[in-house]
């Protein structure tokens, strides 16, 4: 009797628990999560990493239980998605509830999208037309979108695209134009688009709580420091400049990407070292940044930090260049704050966790009156958020990013 009752309760919960799938398909990884449409609770999340289709590593966590699967005989991204949907999602959804909507993270929206949209044929065309700006992302997003349509035809009008570039569409012409012949912008759309917009917008929203100010009145600088890194200047709650450009290669030093360099280096490598354009692209995107500066030790900040205090080491050199360049951007963006910087915010794997990078960077921008509290700096990491400066200083806030939540909220806002 009791068993029957509990079974019925389970059925009622299942039928009433509407869920949102968040999907982020890339060239070497797929991230997925499932949120409740009403309670915004994250019930499931997972990541698929694949350097080749013969070596696919999937980890996921559902209601606290961690699971893992290694596959070695797949042939395409479609087959990986089939496995994720059929063998993981369908199975877990039987217990969690009913899939009601999906949010796709789209890295590059080109000039077309200034906000999240419900996906239709026009949106698909827009994502396709930005492929040349994000060849390692947009083609894979399209595969993900089509796969979900094929597996869940009921989600046809409940699929939302959330763009990393949308948050930066507020930046003014003087910031998004490159000093190149104007027709390159007008005819071919060559301009600054930025990236990581979902993360910058999340930490902006969260900052309102720490500073007790409305979003529209906030002047902050947000540093998203991870394998890919970018920094944004946000004035009166709107992005006015950001370090990533036409593609996510410009700006700060990254794990393997070079960030800002003299464009003539391309000509030098091509003309004097006889490198092909393919080789040069590989150097700039896969062999530079922390990995390149450290002489190939690692792209991972944790590995490099270990040897930082050996001042003649390549790790010392790599971290110093990283922090030096970051501090230059902070200085430059402080000029855009019209005399009043409310806070500096750190997020991303490095920003959220690296006590060393935060300390070294703040030491280089003393003129902004950041007075670090060493105890707070050491204790606010591993998922904690908080202010790491003394009360007499301009606040520096650490905020763990939560891009999936932003996507889930946009899905709800568009579909409710």
Contact of 36 with 23, CB cutoff 8 Å: no
Binding mask 389-408 for ligand ADP (x = CB under 6 A): --------------------
**Shortest CB 237 distance to ligand ADP, Å:** 24
- For residues 209 and 219, what is the distance between their CA atoms, to the nearest angstrom? 14
Q: CA 176 to CA 30: how far, in whole Å? A: 30
Per CB under 6 A, 306 contacts ligand ADP: no
Nearest to ligand ADP of 98, 300 (CB atom): 300
Q: Which is nearer to ligand ADP, 204 or 380 (CB)?
A: 380
User: Nearest to ligand ADP by Cβ — which residue?
Assistant: 349
Q: Please name the residues in contact with 93: beta carbons below 8 A apart, sequence gap of 6 or more.
A: 19, 34, 99
CA distance 277 to 269: 9
The least distance separating ligand ADP from the CB of residue 383, rounded to whole angstroms, comes to 11
Element holding 313 (H helix, E strand): none
Q: What is the DSSP letter of 293?
A: H
By beta-carbon proximity to ligand ADP, the closer residue of 255 and 395 is: 255
Q: Using CB under 6 A, pick the residue from 44, 84, 301, 319 that binds ligand ADP.
A: 301
403 backbone φψ class: left, alpha, beta (φ>0; ψ -120 to 50): alpha
Token look-up 């019930």 returns: 43
Catalytic residue, chosen from 72, 164, 279, 342, is: 164
- Distance in Å, CB of 346 to ligand ADP, minimum: 11
Number of helices (H) and strands (E) in the chain: give both, helices first: 17, 14
Take residue 214 and report the two structure tokens written for it. 């409305």
| Alpha carbons within 13 A on the beta-carbon side of 196 | 29
Please choose, out of 85-93, 123-131, 178-186, 297-305, the segment that lies near ligand ADP by the rule CB under 6 A.
Answer: 297-305
Of residues 216-235, those binding ligand ADP (CB under 6 A): 226-228
Cβ-proximal residues to 263 (8 Å cutoff; 6+ apart), any chain: none
- Among residues 97 and 228, whose Cβ is nearest to ligand ADP? 228
Told to check if 313 binds ligand ADP by CB under 6 A, we report: no
**Site mask for ligand ADP (CB under 6 A), range 322-361, x = bound:** --------------------------xxx--xx-------
Q: How far is the CB of 199 from ligand ADP (least distance, A)?
A: 9
Neighbouring residues of 355: CB distance < 8 A, sequence distance ≥ 6: 377, 378, 381
Classify strands 18-25 and 98-106 as parallel, antiparallel or unpaired: parallel
Smaller CB distance to ligand ADP: residue 97 or 226?
226
Chain centroid to Cα 53, Å, comes to 24
To the query of whether residue 373 is one of the catalytic residues in this protein, the response is: no
Among 41, 67, 302, 306, binds ligand ADP (CB under 6 A): 302
Question: Does residue 251 interact with ligand ADP by CB under 6 A?
Answer: no
Report the C-alpha gap between 361 and 350 in whole angstroms. Answer: 12
Q: Min. distance of Cβ 350 from ligand ADP in angstroms?
A: 4
Question: Annotated active-site positions, please?
Answer: 164
Binding-site ranges for ligand ADP (CB under 6 A): 226-228, 255, 300-302, 305, 348-350, 353-354
């Amino acid at each position: 009797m009791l068993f029957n009752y509990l079974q019925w309760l389970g059925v009622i919960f299942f039928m009433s628990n509407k869920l949102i799938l968040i999907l982020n398909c890339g060239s070497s990884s797929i991230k997925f999560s499932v949120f409740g449409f009403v309670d915004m609770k994250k019930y499931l999340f997972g990541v698929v990493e694949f350097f080749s289709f013969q070596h696919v590593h999937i980890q996921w966590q559902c209601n606290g239980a961690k699971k893992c699967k290694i596959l070695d005989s797949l042939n395409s991204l479609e087959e990986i998605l089939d496995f994720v949907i059929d063998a993981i999602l369908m199975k877990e959804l039987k217990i969690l509830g009913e899939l009601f909507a999906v949010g796709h993270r789209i890295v590059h929206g080109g000039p077309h999208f200034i906000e999240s949209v419900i996906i239709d044929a026009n949106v698909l065309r827009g994502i396709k037309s930005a492929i040349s700006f994000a060849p390692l992302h947009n083609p894979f997003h399209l595969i993900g979108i089509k796969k979900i349509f094929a597996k869940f035809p009921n989600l046809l009008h409940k699929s939302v695209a959330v763009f990393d570039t949308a948050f930066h569409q507020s930046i003014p012409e003087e910031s998004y134009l490159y000093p190149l012949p104007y027709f390159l912008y007008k005819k071919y759309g060559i301009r600054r688009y930025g990236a990581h917009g979902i993360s910058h917008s999340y930490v902006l929203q969260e900052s309102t709580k720490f500073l007790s100010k409305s979003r529209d009145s906030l002047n902050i600088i947000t540093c998203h420091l991870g394998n890919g890194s970018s920094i944004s200047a946000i004035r009166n709650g709107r992005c006015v400049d950001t370090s990533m450009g036409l593609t996510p290669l410009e700006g700060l030093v990254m794990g393997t990407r070079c960030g800002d360099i003299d464009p003539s280096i391309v000509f030098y490598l091509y003309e004097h070292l006889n490198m092909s354009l393919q080789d040069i692209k590989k150097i700039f995107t896969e062999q530079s940044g922390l990995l390149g500066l450290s002489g190939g030790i690692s792209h991972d900040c944790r590995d490099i930090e270990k040897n930082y205090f050996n001042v003649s080491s390549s790790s010392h050199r790599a971290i110093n260049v990283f922090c030096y360049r970051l501090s230059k951007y902070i200085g430059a963006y402080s000029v855009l704050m019209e005399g009043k910087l409310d806070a500096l915010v750190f997020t991303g794997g490095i920003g959220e966790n690296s006590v060393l990078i935060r300390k070294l960077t703040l030491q280089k921008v003393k003129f902004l009156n950041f007075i670090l509290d060493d105890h707070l700096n050491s204790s606010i990491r591993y998922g904690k958020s908080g202010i790491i400066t003394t009360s007499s200083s301009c606040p520096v806030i650490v905020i763990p990013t939560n891009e999936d939540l932003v996507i889930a909220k946009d899905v709800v806002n568009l579909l409710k």
